[in-house]
Amino acid sequence: MIDLQFFVWIQFLDFFMKIKFLQSLGSLDRREMTRFVAFVHSPYHNKHEGVRCLVSYLDGLFPDFSGANCSPGVMEKVVMNRADIAGDAFAPILTYAQRLFEAFLINEGMEDDDLARRLYLLRGLRGRKLFSQYERQLAKARRKLEKSERRDALQLQFRYQLGVETGDYVAQRERRQADTSLQSRQDAFDLYFISEKLRDACELQVRRQILAGEYNLLFLEPILQEIRLNPDRYRPEPAVYIYYALYQMLREEASTYYFQALESIREHRQAFNRAELITIYNYLMNFCIARINRNDGRFLQELFTLYKLQLSDDLLLEDGFLSEWDYKNIVTTALRLGELSWAKTFIEDYRDSLLPASRDNAFRFNKASYHYAAGEYDQVLALLTKVEYSDLRYSLGTRALLMRTYYDLDEYDALHALTESFRQYLQRNQLMSDIRRLGYYNLFRLTRKAALLRTRFPYLRREKVQRELIKIREEVDATKEVFNRSWLLEKLAELENSALLPNN
């Protein structure tokens, strides 16, 4: 019985390691897989023939490891035949292969980290007492720091670590000379510590708005006070000053700090890597969206500016593709600002940047939005009939755009029918959040009221029309959740100033 249990346990481990290793390989792209194959076949990294055979076999199946050719039995048979290894040796091969994969990731990370490689080189040269080579490499590292445009926290960390390494070198050589590395590394460490503290504070401030709970950030208040008292000292350090402004922006919800952060990032955008730039822009965009939701219209232009800045630096592209939702949000923002020419050019220019699976649908919907803003209603209707409801956002957005088009075309029967069918759709759809459901329901309900009043204009006295308009506007103002509120208010304003108002 014990032997059977042991056998079952071994079989489970074989299966687990097989799944783990295939998942690991599945995370690679074609270039990385090619490099991993070369890594495995390097005698320096791997001398196990069975692992080489396994990886070569799987390289031929890449990227699809879901078929029968990847079953444990088939892989074992292939490896045993090619490597001439006894059958009971396959389980360790999977273990070795996974370890090699992990070593490969470490190696790849080091290849991309020039600063870490320089530090390891200096430590290696110092450990072998190759001091003349050490001093040449140290001078190169310092020149690299001086010329670099990067001024982020990692660069500050490297400045500190280089100071530590220099101090160790001076101590090892027992030179009786002035060592300025201690002061420089303390300065770098202070800046690095402050930057990381502020960066974490920004993230925790955002989390406070989403999740319950308090966070204790030691030394944060003294840091904030230090920067307030000595702004000129920290303004040239973007890794400190930008996060200081962002934190104050998030905590106090103050536009002054938004503009400080924006000015600094526009001046120092080369100081940060791509991932950190995206994070910073997300903070700024979320602040703009929150202000827009509070009817602060000037931040719509700010949001548009942020989108354009990110487009110019390709920050919105992921693996060369633009998200269909970023595409839609950018078009919507431009159209709300009346930037029709810009929006039309953007829709066309970035069509091929969308993922092929969603390209045509996203293009049709956003082109329809453009034609609506341009008053070209026939083209709106023609495009919307071809939009597929592949996502709830398209389903809702298309219906809302149809409603606005029917309203402007005076197609009241069509608008009435759409409103009724949409009401039933909202009742049936259980996946929609309550806020979204209510927002769209109120949009259609209030638009229907405005349309009905519009049809009755010729038959009502001026005073009656004005009273009805006041009632609708008051209802819009009192209703918290109304999507496309600005459009609805615009239409009510048109009614108030309309030449259709009776003169009797």
Instruction: Report pLDDT for 285.
Output: 96
pLDDT per residue as tens digits for the range 137-153: 999 999 988 888 888 88
pLDDT per residue as tens digits for the range 215-228: 677 889 999 999 99
Mean pLDDT of the chain: 87
Please report, for the chain, the start and end positions of each structural domain, with discontinuous segments joined by +.
2-112, 114-185, 389-504
Q: Does the structure show a pLDDT above 80 at 499? A: no
Name the pTM for this structure. Answer: 0.78
Give yes or no for a contact between 155 and 148, defined as CB atoms under 8 angstroms apart: yes
| pLDDT band for position 209 (cuts 50, 70, 90) | low
pLDDT per residue as tens digits for the range 453-489: 888 887 778 888 888 888 998 998 888 888 888 889 8
List the structure tokens of 34.
Answer: 């090619």
Instruction: Report pLDDT for 10.
Output: 43
Q: Does the structure show a pLDDT above 70 at 235? A: yes
Give the DSSP H/E element, type plus range, for residue 317: strand 317-318
Report the sign of the C-alpha dihedral through residues 214, 215, 221, 222, in that order: positive
The number of beta carbons lying within 10 Å of the beta carbon of residue 327 is: 23
All residues at 6 or more sequence positions from 371 whose CB lies less than 8 Å from its CB, including other chains: 377, 379, 380, 383
